[in-house]
Structure 1
Amino acid sequence: MYPAIILVSFGVSWAIQDVIAPVLSAKVSSAYRSLSPKDRVDWNNRLLSSCASIVLGALALYGFLRDSGLKPDVVRYESPYMKVACAIVVGYAIADLIIIAVRYRHLATPLMILHHVITAATCIVCGLMSPLAHFYGNMQLLAELSNPLLHLRRLLTLSGWSYASPPHVMTSLAFMTTFFLVRVATIPICWYGWVYLLMPQPEYGRAEYATAWRIAIALGIVLHVLYLYWFYTICLMAKRSIESLRKEVKKK
């Protein structure tokens, strides 16, 4: 079932980028119709990412609410919600990496490529191939809920809204808050649970799990460092928006 979900996710992701997003955007947004080809590619890709993030974040949240097996001290448990989400992630990440490769000059950012590779690898190794620590994997998927606001901020810019405009400032502050809640504030919770709740379990020390643990810990560290770096840049951008708004208010 999961290979089929990967293929469907791949196909739908490509369709959103090249068919659905361009057609719908051209019909409903005059700003989109006036964009350069490069900015249209960026716009379409952000709609794709937003759709994927909403689906994945909703699945992760639903999993926490409905799946009683997702607990921080459970070593081995296969969550069907998380496995479906991981399959969607893999299909989307592969499609988006190919899209980035095809349109490298328009979309490529090294950190985003690194993020896609790490996320896909984590989902394959720790989500689909291994029934280990699915609570913590689901926490990573929940972090996707911050992405739509990131892309909305960029879409506002492409639509002609300045950094000082109230919609832009409000979106920047909402994004900063959401990013902190689902990506930064969860870091100490994740590592506390891993060290003090998961590792003491007798089953944790089984030899056949050693490689999976090493991979999961290494990828988790890299992702969390990226989150902290991104949060720093997000705070700087939010500060710039607020300062721009203050200058506009003083002029009036």
Structure 2
Amino acid sequence: MASFSPLVLSIAATSFVTFQCLFHFVSPWISAQFCPGYRRLSPRHTVEWNSRTVSTFHALIVGLFCLYILLFDNAVNEDPVWGDPSLVKINVAITCGYLISDMLLICYYWLAIGDKFFVIHHLAALYAYYYVLSIGMLPYFANFRLVAELSTPCVNQRWFFEVLGYPKKSLPNMVNGIAMTASFFLVRIAVMPMYYTRMYAVYGTEPFYRVTFGGRCAWMGPSFCLDIMNVMWMHKMARGCISVLRSPGKHRRTAFIKVWGVVLSSD
């Protein structure tokens, strides 16, 4: 019977405690120190603010680790089904600690941040990661899905601007909107051909048939469902950008000139 290694369990437990501390202590203190608007938030918004702060921190840590593994972990890249999953297990264990922590907070603060979709999402992710952490199968594909976390910081930043009262057409909001759309496209849409090409390449091979039926279901089913939703969300984002670009008004045109000026000057 498959089991978790002591290292995996300790990393997941440390991750859980760390994210709980970030939510209850670190985020409230830092936010109050550096963002005056935080003190004026309602209790409900304060809970969601701290939750999104933790989400952003997790996304940056795990997302950057994912890129490192994709670029430099030859064992996983050469054998995407059964390659040495050591680094991937560390990354996935961090994520599992976060998911359990976040799910606990969602249930405890249900009136503020309760969402059935997120509970289902977290449970489905934990089910899929069980096979990675216990058996070590499909490390490349498990790691690849986590790259999508790199679009999370801009999504959260959009909410921060909204709750702080920034106008939708303000320069910070528009710069973040462009960054959000671009990052979402790059890490969720543009990478699809690479992901499904690797999936097609291993389908029907001997390593593929060594994957348990439950592992295949946890791998393929969620992948297709998530990417269908990603395409729908991308379509919605693109329509929003086009709508703003086509909208009349000197103020909006001037704002976009400023936005692109900031983007180009940063290159």
TM-score under structure 2 length normalisation: 0.84
Cα gap change, 1:238/1:36 in structure 2, threshold over 3 Å: closer, same or farther? Answer: farther
Q: Which amino acid aligns with 2:208?
A: Y
Residues 58, 98 of structure 2: 8 Å contact kept: yes
1:87 aligns with 2:93: yes
Deviation at 1:152, TM superposition (A): 1.0
Q: Select which of 16, 35, 39 maps to 1:33.
A: 39
Deviation at 1:108, TM superposition (A): 2.2
RMSD over aligned CA atoms reads: 2.3
Cα gap change, 1:136/1:245 in structure 2, threshold over 3 Å: closer, same or farther? Answer: farther
Partner in structure 2 of residue 150 of structure 1? 155
Deviation at 1:188, TM superposition (A): 2.8
Q: Which amino acid aligns with 1:143?
A: A
Q: Select which of 218, 227, 231 maps to 1:228.
A: 231
For residues 192 and 252 of structure 2, the distance between their equivalents in structure 1, rounded to whole angstroms, comes to 37
Secondary structure of the residue aligned to 2:137 is coil
Deviation at 1:251, TM superposition (A): 10
Deviation at 1:236, TM superposition (A): 4.4
Cα gap change, 1:151/1:251 in structure 2, threshold over 3 Å: closer, same or farther? Answer: closer
Partner in structure 1 of residue 208 of structure 2? 204
Cα gap change, 1:189/1:250 in structure 2, threshold over 3 Å: closer, same or farther? Answer: closer
Deviation at 1:212, TM superposition (A): 1.4
Secondary structure of the residue aligned to 2:102 is helix
Deviation at 1:10, TM superposition (A): 0.8
Q: Select which of 49, 55, 71 maps to 2:55.
A: 49
TM-score under structure 1 length normalisation: 0.89
Partner in structure 1 of residue 261 of structure 2? none
Partner in structure 1 of residue 262 of structure 2? none
Number of residue pairs aligned between Structure 1 and Structure 2 = 249
Cα gap change, 1:135/1:246 in structure 2, threshold over 3 Å: closer, same or farther? Answer: farther
Report Cα offsets for 1:221-244 as digits up to 9, x if no partner: 222223223323433454566577
Report Cα offsets for 1:43-80 as digits up to 9, x if no partner: 11110000000010011111122211122654312322
Identity value in percent: 23
Q: Which amino acid aligns with 1:142?
A: V
Residues 128, 215 of structure 2: 8 Å contact kept: no
**Which aligned segments of 4 or more residues in structure 1 are displaced greater than 6 angstroms?**
none
Residues 188, 230 of structure 2: 8 Å contact kept: yes
For residues 64 and 46 of structure 1, the distance between their equivalents in structure 2, rounded to whole angstroms, comes to 26
Partner in structure 2 of residue 170 of structure 1? 175
Residues 127, 218 of structure 2: 8 Å contact kept: no
For residues 248 and 155 of structure 2, the distance between their equivalents in structure 1, rounded to whole angstroms, comes to 19
Cα gap change, 1:166/1:251 in structure 2, threshold over 3 Å: closer, same or farther? Answer: closer
Q: How does 1:1-252 map to 2 (within 5 A)?
A: 1-71=7-77, 74-125=80-131, 127-195=132-200, 197-206=201-210, 209-239=212-242, 246=249, 248-249=251-252
Cα gap change, 1:42/1:237 in structure 2, threshold over 3 Å: closer, same or farther? Answer: farther
